[in-house]
Structure 1
């Protein structure tokens, strides 16, 4: 991720993985500052979209039953996720 310059949002298990991997602040909720709590809420919202997208791909069983060229898979996955986000919004 760092070499590609892409950022990703991960859970606490990825602390120390590098600057491209963004994790929430560590600690008890009551001891976090208001800014840290706001950051963690925003982080959770972003991660929830990714979790929902993975669940959609799993429930549609797209990747298990896909019988096409591997160069077309990215476009198909993007289309499924766009449809999922459009319907859930």
Structure 2
């Protein structure tokens, strides 16, 4: 089974600071001795927070609707759930 890096290909991936040094775009953090972040770093962190909040809310809704609650134990269940979600999203976009 291919890993996460293979699955995302060249897509930009955002993550929280727990993934520091693994490749995804993460929020800027102050370095040791640094008093505050620059204005562009603060602006980047603000946009990052807004985007991640939407993603996290989506995951929460999927759990509420039981889309992700049990499928993790059923082989390719998450894969199929994500495909179904993408189909629903595309249907919403096309009207």
TM-score, reference length from structure 2: 0.64
Q: Output the CA distance in 1 between the equivalents of 2:27 and 2:67.
A: 31
Pick the structure with more strand per residue.
1
Instruction: Could you tell me which runs of 5 or more consecutive residues in structure 1 were left unpaired when the two chains were aligned.
Output: 83-89
TM-score, scaled to structure 1: 0.68
Unaligned runs of 5+ in 2: 90-95
Question: Considering only aligned residues, what root-mean-square deviation do their CA atoms show, in Å?
Answer: 3.0
Q: Whose relative contact order is higher, 1 or 2, with alpha carbons under 8 Å and at least 6 apart?
A: 1
Count of residue pairs the alignment pairs up: 77
- Larger helix share, 1 or 2: 1
Ranges of 4+ aligned residues in structure 1 off by more than 4 Å: 69-72
